[in-house]
Chain A
Amino acid sequence: MTAILEMQGITKTFPGVKALSNVNLSVREGEIHAICGENGAGKSTLMKVLSGVYPHGSYDGEILYDGKPARFRDIRDSEHAGIVIIHQELALVPLLSVAENLFLGNEVAKGGVINWPLAYQKTEALLKKVGLTEAPTTKVEKLGVGKQQLVEIAKALAKNVRLLILDEPTAALQENDSQKLLDLMLELKGQGVTQIIISHKLNEIRRVADRVTVIRDGSTVSTLDRSEITEDRIIRDMVGRDMAHRYPDRTPKIGEVLMEVRNWSVMHPEQPRQVIRDVSMTVRKGEIVGIAGLMGSGRTEFAMSLFGRSYGRDIRGEVTLAGGKPDLSTVSKAIDAGLAYVTEDRKVLGLILDEPILRNISLANLEGISKGAVLSRGREQQVAEKYRKAMNIRTPTVFQRVVNLSGGNQQKVVLSKWLFTDPKVLILDEPTRGIDVGAKFEIYNIMNELAGQGHGVVMISSEMPELLGMCDRIYVMNEGRIAGELTRAEASQERIMALILQDGMKGDAA
């Protein structure tokens, strides 16, 4: 097979940092090539160089496309050559229809007048290719994230793509949708579309990739053939050290019941349907409790309704916390009662991105850095410095705006914020989503430490291996109910899935 793309000695510097240093990447025609690396390793920068976001001349090195030097001035240029990149944050216009999105900037038109019948016809054909049956006039906002991702791919196909780049395509997807997407990738490969996938999910890479290039600290570490692809090898190359265990060891010291929720029921905020039904669970001191379930199973809704009624209406049920009956009617009361909730989406719900680290850490407990109503900025800085050391937040100063931090460090800031409220029970919703392997390990360590200090930790996660590796007990949720409870010894991916399926059948029968 010949190489469709050769990137040779790519070096890209930003003021003060060398983002890429002498990176080599060779992609063969018709293969699926995975790129692995920690957040901040340089994957996205490399793709931006390739797609012309950073135009020719702003980097050193040579790009050979089809054996000829390619000098893209912008994205349009690279798209003309058949290179299309699908970013992690989807670039669809929610209020426009599928057809309008597919041909955005590339309209089926003559002299500026759009030929709608032809556009719809083409749209239907493209949607069929990616396995969608939606009408071309459906507004994109009506589609779930999984389907939107497929629309993005259809959009790329509309541009006669030859080299498709997918930047963490499954990060926001549920298991089902992820599988569909991976299937589609293999199908496109069969049709001769060369693909580059950036992913953190090693099992996916094993499934679809023909070769893997690992990047660390802005340089190529290795390119592995399919036979060499093992998780251990990839992790070792990514992190630069052996990681004997993906989950840190811990000897649980589990104490008395810290929090007990009984018969928790919640109605949807707008629609007349029940989202959470009769959920009961306990969390003990020093215990890490997992909540497994598919997306839409009500895990986040349950946590948010518990945390100061941040979700839903008509909330019923009883909670005991540390022996008392806490008032959880508002977020600030829930915080006072000793509850903390680390949100699923840290950028949208957890952080004030434009503010510096120290202000984010103090946000939920301003009383802790003030006398009366007057803030002590010195105390605020001390607190931030303390957590910066304790959590190993990698930053030159605590005055750094959090928008400039990597995902893992941002998550540490969020954790710091909640630890500073001195919680008894911490609920962590997808705490390692979008975080690289090294930072994940650090977050796991922090969780273990918290449990060791006698906190109760509740972990909601869509990644089953992570739940199995970390939790002492796992509740499985489905359609707003607890479908079952598994101890560490009992739990396995198969049993969790079985509980979900069995519960689903019960629900259908009822």
Chain B
Amino acid sequence: MSTAETNKPAPSGIGAHLGSHLRENGMMLALIAIVLFFFIIVRAVQGVDFLSAQNITNLFLQNSYVIIMALGMLLVIVAGHIDLSVGSVAAFTGAVASMLLVQYDLPVLMVIPMVLVVGGLIGAAQGYWIAYWRIPSFIVTLAGMLVFRGLTLWLLGGQNIGPFERSFQALSTGFIPDLFGADKPNFTALILVAVAAAAIVWAGIRGRAREAEFGIAPEPAGFFWARNAVVVIALLFVGWKLASFRGLPNVLLIMSVLIVLYAFFTESTTTGRRIYALGGNEKAAKLSGIKTERLVFFTFVNMGVLASLAGMIVTARLNSATPKAGVGFELDVIAAVFIGGASMTGGSGRIIGVVVGALIMGVMNNGMSIMGIGIDYQQVIKGLVLLAAVIFDVYNKTKQG
């Protein structure tokens, strides 16, 4: 008995729109609510400004690696797989980078691409078994998690390697220099943020125009503007704060570029679409001419490259490669993807959701640390948030029928 057996026009209006985009809007609102919650509580209890320039900068520095890896993890999960090895791979590639920099004294600009290639090769080595031999990814990457953790220990000999020259550290702790002199506020940062905000609004307006052209029912105008206003205000606020501190962190720029690239890749390219099809129904995708093995292989190579980038950022941030780096990262990354609305069975999930999911985790980590909540409670709360987000998803899905 399906409700679809009529030619009635689809329901329209703000209510219907909110309903059909409940998940994404809900996540945004949850993020904003969590930020405000910490802002109020931290001010009241600790007397500290949660949204201070320094803390906002910290937030990005602390969470950049999770977001970067979550972009790759989304593709892996959308394809119907999982990668448990990313934490170990990040640690291993960080160790490789430190060896090349410190022991072999290679220049930074050579080391970065070399390590990215190493990450890609590691992804290829795991993806090969998963894609072409159909070994479950859970098992292959569980093995990878152990293997690369072991290799990290072996490579580092149980010691830390560091420190690094400034140009490598800048990968994580550097800021984009102000082209307009050293005065505060940092004008480069302000201009970049303003341009980004303008670009988002412009892309939104163009998208609406194009939808109208093709006769797609657009998002209600009032809702569109309200949503954009919130995004622009948030962006400008963060930009202003950053500008009044040390400017835009390099990591933030790398991360933003990657987010835009991956959002475009997943939503607007044929290859991106095929990954969703593969996760949705592998057999049907295959019989529609999609080279499913190659795509699975690609998602793991891509994951390896992003894990190595994250590995270098973490290593640069700590200013040394340590055997314990990246322990538990895989769980943060996977949690971010699921909080962001991806489905365990593959085939669904969006980049924007993943970013918001990672930010929710990040803000909670940061806020709870400032409040002095013990690591024990933090884990419990994060676990419950993950569970709640997924229950919310499942509930929504069953309600839609």
Contact = CB atoms under 8 A, between A and B. Distances in A.
Say if A and B assemble together.
Answer: yes
Interface of A: 14, 16-17, 19, 40, 42, 44-45, 218, 307-308, 310, 330-332, 334-335, 341, 343, 348-355, 359, 363-364, 366-367, 370, 373-375, 377-379, 381-382, 394-397, 399-400, 404-406, 409, 417
B286 A404 contact: no
B347 A400 contact: no
A381 B5 contact: no
Nearest to B1: A19
22 contacts: A14-B3, A330-B291, A331-B290, A332-B291, A335-B288, A341-B287, A343-B284, A351-B281, A359-B276, A363-B284, A364-B288, A373-B270, A375-B273, A378-B216, A379-B214, A381-B214, A395-B4, A396-B4, A396-B7, A397-B10, A404-B3, A406-B4
A235 B288 CA distance: 35
A88 to B, nearest CB: 15
B270 A406 contact: no
Main secondary structure of the interface of A (DSSP, over half): mixed
Contacts of B5: 40, 394-395, 405-406, 409
A373 B272 CA distance: 9
A373 B401 CA distance: 34
A350 B285 CA distance: 8
Nearest to B214: A378
A363 B3 CA distance: 24
B131 to A, nearest CB: 16
A373 B280 contact: no
Contacts of A350: 284, 287
B12 to A, nearest CB: 10
A55 B231 CA distance: 47
A375 B2 contact: no
Nearest to A45: B1
A310 B216 contact: no
Contacts of B4: 394-396, 400, 404-406, 409
A310 B3 contact: no
A420 B238 CA distance: 47
Given A378-B210, A378-B216, A381-B214, A394 B7 contact: yes
Contact of B270 (A367, A399, A417): A367
Contacts of B149: none
Nearest to A405: B4
A221 B91 CA distance: 70
B283 A366 contact: no
B213 interface: yes
A355 B277 contact: yes
B9 A310 contact: no
B278 to A, nearest CB: 9
Contacts of A351: 281, 284
Given A42-B1, A332-B291, A366 B213 contact: no
Interface in B25-39: none
A373 B275 CA distance: 14
Given A378-B213, A381-B214, 6 more contacts: A40-B5, A348-B284, A367-B270, A374-B269, A375-B268, A405-B2
Contacts of A396: 4, 6-10
Contacts, number: 128
B164 to A, nearest CB: 37
A364 B289 contact: yes
Contacts of B6: 394, 396
Contacts of B287: 307, 310, 331, 341, 343, 349-350
Contacts of B276: 355, 359
Interface in B45-60: none
B274 interface: yes
Given A378-B216, A394-B7, A353 B291 contact: no
The 8 closest A-B pairs by CB, nearest first: A378-B214, A332-B289, A352-B280, A364-B288, A366-B270, A19-B1, A397-B10, A331-B289
B285 A363 contact: yes
A386 B270 CA distance: 21
Interface of B: 1-10, 210-211, 213-216, 267-271, 273-274, 276-277, 280-281, 283-291, 347-348, 401
Contacts of B283: 348-349
A49 to B, nearest CB: 11
Nearest to A353: B281
A353 B288 CA distance: 14
Given A381-B216, A394-B5, A396-B8, A335 B270 contact: no
A84 B10 CA distance: 39
A330 B289 CA distance: 7
Most buried by A among B10, B214, B288, B291: B288
B181 to A, nearest CB: 40
B334 to A, nearest CB: 21
A265 to B, nearest CB: 22
Nearest to B272: A375
Nearest to A395: B4
Contacts of A409: 4-5
A374 B3 contact: no
Most buried by B among A367, A396, A417: A396
B288 A375 contact: no
Given A308-B289, A332-B289, A373 B269 contact: yes
A442 to B, nearest CB: 13
Contact of A17 (B1, B9, B280, B286): B1
Most buried by B among A330, A352, A417: A352
B273 to A, nearest CB: 6
A16 B1 CA distance: 11
A366 B289 CA distance: 10
A54 to B, nearest CB: 11
A350 to B, nearest CB: 6
Given A363-B285, A396-B8, A373 B271 contact: yes
Contacts of B286: 310, 331
Contacts of B270: 366-367, 370, 373-375
B216 to A, nearest CB: 6
A374 B264 CA distance: 9
Nearest to A375: B268
B330 to A, nearest CB: 26
A415 to B, nearest CB: 13
B2 A40 contact: yes
Contacts of A381: 214-216
Given A352-B277, A359-B273, A399 B10 contact: yes
Given A352-B347, A355-B276, A373-B270, A331 B288 contact: yes
A332 B280 CA distance: 19
A96 to B, nearest CB: 23
B216 A335 contact: no
Contacts of B268: 374-375, 377
B3 A378 contact: no
Contacts of B7: 394-396
Contacts of B210: 378
A353 B343 CA distance: 14
Contact of A349 (B214, B280, B284, B348): B284
A370 B274 CA distance: 13
A291 B281 CA distance: 28
A77 B286 CA distance: 44
B210 to A, nearest CB: 6
Contacts of B285: 352, 363
A20 B10 CA distance: 23
Contacts of A366: 270, 273-274
A379 B216 CA distance: 11
A44 B1 contact: yes
Contacts of B281: 348, 351-353
A373 to B, nearest CB: 5
B3 to A, nearest CB: 5
A331 to B, nearest CB: 4
A363 B6 CA distance: 24
Nearest to A385: B215
A139 B280 CA distance: 30
Contacts of A332: 289-291
B347 A355 contact: yes
